[in-house]
Amino acid sequence: MAGAGGFLAGVNDPWLKLRLGGGGGGRRPKPGGALPPAELATVLDAVRTHGLLTERLPGTHDPKLAEAWRAAVDAWVERIGELVQSDMPCSRWLGICFLGLTFQECSNERFAESYSNWFEKILSNLQGPSSEQLVIIVSCTSMSDLFVRMARCLNLKKEASSFAGRVVEPVLLLLNGNGPVANEAVDLLRTVIKLYPSSVNRHYNKVESSIATNVMSSEVNVKLKEKFVRALASLPSVRVSEESWSLMIQKILIVVNNLLNDAFFGLEEEKKGHEILMLLVPPGNDPPPLLGDQTKWSGGNVHVTKKFRVYTVPTISALIHCCCVMLTSYHPVQVNVPVRALIALTWRVLSVDGSLHRKLFPSTTSLHQELICFELPSLHSTFLDLLSSTIKGMRSQLLPHAANIVRLITKYFEIARLPTTRTKAYIIVQQLLTSMGVGISIHLLDAIVSNSVADLDDSCGQDMTSLSTKPTIVTNESSSKSYSKKRKQETDAQNLHVSGSEKTAISPKKRKNSSLSTTPETTADVRMLTPLSVKLAALETLEILLNVGGSLRTDHWRADVDLLLINIARSACDTGRRYEHKLPSTVGETSIADFQLASLKALLASFLSSHTRPPYLAQGIELFRRGKLEIGTKLAEFCSHALLALDVLTHPRALPLECVVPSGPGLTFGAPEKATFGTEKYKFSLSGNQSQALEDDDPYDDWLTPTTVGEPTGSPAKDNPVGKERATEMSQGERQSTPVGEHQQTDTAMSPADIQDVPTSGKSDTEMADVATTETANPETKDGTFSSNAASTPVRTVLPDLNQQVAAPAFEEGHADPVDHLQNIPSAVDAPLTGGKSDDSDVESEDSMPGIVDGDPDSD
């Protein structure tokens, strides 16, 4: 333990604090002495880092130290007191600043001692008529901090309330000034409203009118307006009653509705505004008093065009933003939300697309229309926010109105072309899906799939569209595609020049890559068709749709979407890697990294929500593995999560049930011979070793075999969960089940052979080109095998006979000597070019085996 004069024990020695505080005496601000700002920053930093004012002694109590420390802080407080009362603005500023710091740091006892003294000091500075702006600003902040600190002392509640009451009036005076003073003043007002709402009650009307005037003023800047909006939104909590909140939102919506009447004159039906007013103020009820002081902000004699841009639209935005805040923040009592009016108002704005209404009004000028079309995106965006807040605030209580919203948003997608509005529309769809679950996904499915596919498609080209048109016969499609690919391979192998007619048949990725070698710019152009932010939103929407309603009418859309997602994820990851230096993320836009992350997230959702075995699992896992290596990025973090989640798919496991049903003797069970549980495999008995019983079961079969059809009657693999032997057994099983597939081609359930076919086609789409065009030094054995296999596997599905002929020898080989393939690998790079299909088809089957995916061939 260090003494008062000796060396310190270390950085945690409390004496250090004292010495800093005491030694800092030299640096302690003195009245009159103008300290350079840099020096002040050191003092501030020292106080905060070392907790010089806390007077909290860790560990053992040392009276000497405590006494010394107290004296030091006493001196500090005294010095600050002098500073605050100094006649120099600089000293006052400094004093008040450090006083605020003291509130934050000092001990409870010290605070309780002198809070009222401090309050008076700050208040006098706050009211001081001739004070410098900076002094007023810091006074507001310090005052706010004083209230925050007082709120933590429960016994000071009464005093704090009375203090708060005294502060309100001076603050209202400050609000009318613009700039930073009003900024800090409104912060102080918000603190008071939030912490001591009852003290504002007396001044309620004055406060409301003052804030409302500022909100609707055209002179207040945007940032400050935002603060006023928040203050206005928190105002209803001053009067804790059911009506205050409803009254406020009613007033706001009436003002907005009236403003819209002017704005949309001639662009919509005349009665719309009136209808909404009827919803807000039912016939027979008195309209509420007007919001704020309406005379001040009527726009004066500004020219009508300027008024619209400078006054009408910003006011609407601010007021609607206020509604959003009100809807999404806590209110202590139950409130009446005018849902119908909110939705009707949103309908009203979002259905205006700038075109003239049928009945042309003589007063409508083309200038007016121009003005509105100019401002329409911002209005739409504002009201989309309102819709989003309504969804957030109402949660499942919105269900009775959900049909309306679904119609609205589906319709809105047709006119939403700009990136901002389209992104917001997607976000609303996401919120609807999250809050209303599978029920709403029934209604939104078509809209989401068609819109997001359209948005995401441009980077993936024509091949996609040919797939999406006839999704039900996807296997045939893919097979025909692979046919063309097979031809392609051969032509590629011979010469890399692709003729124009064939160009349409190749996958977009491939095309992109092949064109890359000559003109890299074209890729960038394609990518720019739909902004990245919209694509990102579309991806996120698809992800949520898959999570929520992934099993819904799967035959209509899942095949397309799964394929789309794997293609996007692959192209996103490739592009990211290759072009990061060439295409730095566009300024203020979504970066490619976000897009990559979103594409991988959607891909994971597609895998996990899949009803059958996910067709592109192997390719996806490869992507996740690669992503995992990007250490330190969000992508890597997510990829490791994804691999964890997918582990259940790749290495299926039958977890033992948590509860075991024993058939003990003393129990009240009926017939003891019925103590078998479920199927015969799960034996639950007191004596039976359960884990043993579960090991006997081959969990892999559970996964590969569909529920209703094609149950292979063959013997399941036994007791050898590792290595290739099982893979070969599986290929046996595959062979057995192939005839079943023949008879049930129309069935949606896929036999294992089918399941493995699809990935190969998807994989080969892209990977083929990689091998062909980009010179990879490292022989990507896996890619090679995949693409080569693509040629053979589709044949199986379409022409089963051929399949038998082609596939059977391959499997035989695999069965006989699995090690061979590992030896084959070095030559596998050439395989796609030479079309050595029979050699590698079984390697492919291994690759999609769970036990082998993380095996050596592709681990590097």
Partner 1 sequence: MGGEKEAVLAVCASDAGGVVYDINTGEKIVCIQDCVAPPHGLAFVDGFLLAASRTDKDQPIFGSAIYFWAPTKRKVKLIQYRQFHVFQFYSGIICQIKDSLLIFIYNNVSPQATEDVPEDSKVNFSMKNKNELLLPYGLKGIKEVQKSYVAEAIEPIACSKDGVFLVGGARSGHAYIWEIASGALLKRWRGHKTAISCLAFSQDTSLLISGSIDGTVCTWSMISLFQAEEPRPIEGTEIYLNFYNVKQNEHKASITGILTLLRSPCPILITSSLDGNCKVTELMSGILVQTISLSSSVTTIAVDPLEQFLLCGAGDAGIYVTVLNEIGTKNSRLTLSEDNCQILSGHRAPISALAFSSEGPRLVSGSQDRVILIWDTRTWQVIRKIENKMGGHITNLLVIPKGAISTVHQGRNSLAVKFPKLDKICKPTNETMTFLRPSQFSDNPVSFQSSNLLAEQILDLEEKRTPEAVEMIIAMNTRDKVKNQTIAKELVNMNMLVQGQVFDVMDAGADED
Q: Which of residues 37-56 bind partner 1 (CB under 8 A)?
A: 37-38, 40-41, 44, 48
Closer to partner 1 at the Cβ: 697 or 854?
697
Please report whether residue 293 would count as binding partner 1 according to CB under 8 A: no
CB atoms within 10 A of CB 664: 12
Per DSSP, 722 falls in state S
Please report whether residue 134 would count as binding partner 1 according to CB under 8 A: yes
Please report whether residue 644 would count as binding partner 1 according to CB under 8 A: no
| Region near partner 1 per CB under 8 A, out of 156-164, 313-321, 651-659, 755-763 | 651-659
One-letter amino acid at 180 equals P
**Phi/psi at 27 (5° precision):** -90, -10
Please report whether residue 76 would count as binding partner 1 according to CB under 8 A: no
Q: Which of 22, 95, 461, 549 binds partner 1 (CB under 8 A)?
A: 549
| DSSP H or E segment with residue 197 | helix 197-200
Looking up tokens 């409508």, which residue turns up? 364
| Region near partner 1 per CB under 8 A, out of 72-80, 128-136, 453-461, 817-825 | 128-136
Please report whether residue 148 would count as binding partner 1 according to CB under 8 A: yes
Write the binding mask 478 to 517 for partner 1: x where contact by CB under 8 A, - elsewhere: ----------------------------------------
Sign of CA dihedral 245, 252, 205, 150: positive
| Region near partner 1 per CB under 8 A, out of 20-28, 471-479, 706-714, 785-793 | 706-714
Please report whether residue 681 would count as binding partner 1 according to CB under 8 A: yes
CA–CA gap between residue 483 and residue 796 (Å, rounded) = 12
Q: Report the Cα 251 to chain-centroid distance in Å.
A: 33
Q: Which of 2, 46, 89, 491 binds partner 1 (CB under 8 A)?
A: 89
Please report whether residue 714 would count as binding partner 1 according to CB under 8 A: no
Q: Which of 701, 725, 813, 830 binds partner 1 (CB under 8 A)?
A: 701
Nearest to 821 by CA among 728, 751, 708, 748: 728
Closer to partner 1 at the Cβ: 18 or 343?
343
CA–CA gap between residue 325 and residue 146 (Å, rounded) = 26
Q: What is the footprint of partner 1 within residues 782-841 (CB under 8 A)?
A: none
CB 447 → partner 1: shortest distance, Å? 12
Q: What is the footprint of partner 1 within residues 267-286 (CB under 8 A)?
A: 279, 282
Nearest to 446 by CA among 536, 545, 351, 540: 545
- Radius of gyration of the chain from its Cα atoms, rounded to whole angstroms: 36
CB 345 → partner 1: shortest distance, Å? 12
Q: Which of 159, 589, 697, 813 binds partner 1 (CB under 8 A)?
A: 697
CB 349 → partner 1: shortest distance, Å? 19
Looking up tokens 């800092």, which residue turns up? 24
Token output for 268: 């919509």
Which residues, other chains included, contact 674 with Cβ-Cβ below 8 Å and sequence gap of 6+? Answer: none
CB 194 → partner 1: shortest distance, Å? 6
Q: What number of residues does the chain have?
A: 860
Please report whether residue 746 would count as binding partner 1 according to CB under 8 A: no
| Region near partner 1 per CB under 8 A, out of 87-95, 302-310, 761-769, 850-858 | 87-95
Q: Give yes or no for a contact between 215 and 323, defined as CB atoms under 8 angstroms apart.
A: no
Q: Report the Cα 166 to chain-centroid distance in Å.
A: 44
Q: Report the Cα 734 to chain-centroid distance in Å.
A: 41
**Residues near partner 1 (CB under 8 A), total:** 119
3-state secondary structure of 73: helix
Q: Which of 253, 291, 324, 436 binds partner 1 (CB under 8 A)?
A: 436
CB 666 → partner 1: shortest distance, Å? 8
Q: Which of 15, 69, 76, 98 binds partner 1 (CB under 8 A)?
A: 98
Please report whether residue 408 would count as binding partner 1 according to CB under 8 A: no
CB 527 → partner 1: shortest distance, Å? 33
| Region near partner 1 per CB under 8 A, out of 85-93, 362-370, 472-480, 535-543 | 85-93
Q: Which of 4, 529, 657, 802 binds partner 1 (CB under 8 A)?
A: 657
φ/ψ bin of 55: left (φ > 0), alpha (ψ from -120 to 50), beta (otherwise): left
CB 330 → partner 1: shortest distance, Å? 5
Please report whether residue 643 would count as binding partner 1 according to CB under 8 A: no
Q: What is the footprint of partner 1 within residues 101-120 (CB under 8 A)?
A: 101, 103-104
CA–CA gap between residue 205 and residue 209 (Å, rounded) = 6
CA–CA gap between residue 557 and residue 563 (Å, rounded) = 10
Please report whether residue 154 would count as binding partner 1 according to CB under 8 A: no
Q: Give yes or no for a contact between 105 and 51, defined as CB atoms under 8 angstroms apart.
A: yes
Please report whether residue 34 would count as binding partner 1 according to CB under 8 A: yes
Closer to partner 1 at the Cβ: 163 or 786?
163
**Phi/psi at 719 (5° precision):** 60, 15
Token output for 779: 């022989």
Closer to partner 1 at the Cβ: 3 or 678?
678
Which residues, other chains included, contact 294 with Cβ-Cβ below 8 Å and sequence gap of 6+? Answer: none
Closer to partner 1 at the Cβ: 437 or 739?
437
| DSSP H or E segment with residue 743 | helix 724-743
Q: Give yes or no for a contact between 543 and 598, defined as CB atoms under 8 angstroms apart.
A: yes
CB 117 → partner 1: shortest distance, Å? 17
Closer to partner 1 at the Cβ: 84 or 825?
84
CB atoms within 10 A of CB 154: 7
Q: Which of 3, 23, 439, 809 binds partner 1 (CB under 8 A)?
A: 439
3-state secondary structure of 467: helix
Count Cβ neighbours within 10 Å for each residue of 563-586 and write b for 16 or more, e otherwise. Answer: bbbbbbbbbbbbbbeebeeebeee
Q: What is the footprint of partner 1 within residues 227-256 (CB under 8 A)?
A: 240, 245-246
Closer to partner 1 at the Cβ: 66 or 675?
675
Looking up tokens 């700038």, which residue turns up? 354
Q: What is the footprint of partner 1 within residues 179-208 (CB under 8 A)?
A: 179-180, 184, 187, 190-191, 194-195
Closer to partner 1 at the Cβ: 356 or 657?
657
Q: Which of 30, 50, 357, 443 binds partner 1 (CB under 8 A)?
A: 443
Token output for 787: 């693409």
Closer to partner 1 at the Cβ: 516 or 552?
552
Count Cβ neighbours within 10 Å for each residue of 611-625 and write b for 16 or more, e otherwise. Answer: ebbbbbbbbbbbbbb
Please report whether residue 5 would count as binding partner 1 according to CB under 8 A: no
Q: Give yes or no for a contact between 803 and 794, defined as CB atoms under 8 angstroms apart.
A: no
Write the binding mask 298 to 337 for partner 1: x where contact by CB under 8 A, - elsewhere: ----------------------------xxxxxxxxxxxx
Please report whether residue 677 would count as binding partner 1 according to CB under 8 A: yes
Q: How far is CA 139 from CA 136, 535, 625, 692, 738, in A?
A: 5, 48, 56, 74, 82
Closer to partner 1 at the Cβ: 211 or 464?
211
CB atoms within 10 A of CB 248: 23
Looking up tokens 């139950």, which residue turns up? 334
Q: Which of 401, 411, 625, 815 binds partner 1 (CB under 8 A)?
A: 401
Q: Which of 67, 711, 801, 820 binds partner 1 (CB under 8 A)?
A: 711
| Region near partner 1 per CB under 8 A, out of 108-116, 521-529, 545-553, 798-806 | 545-553
CA–CA gap between residue 21 and residue 79 (Å, rounded) = 13
| Region near partner 1 per CB under 8 A, out of 15-23, 438-446, 594-602, 765-773 | 438-446
CB 706 → partner 1: shortest distance, Å? 8
One-letter amino acid at 13 equals D
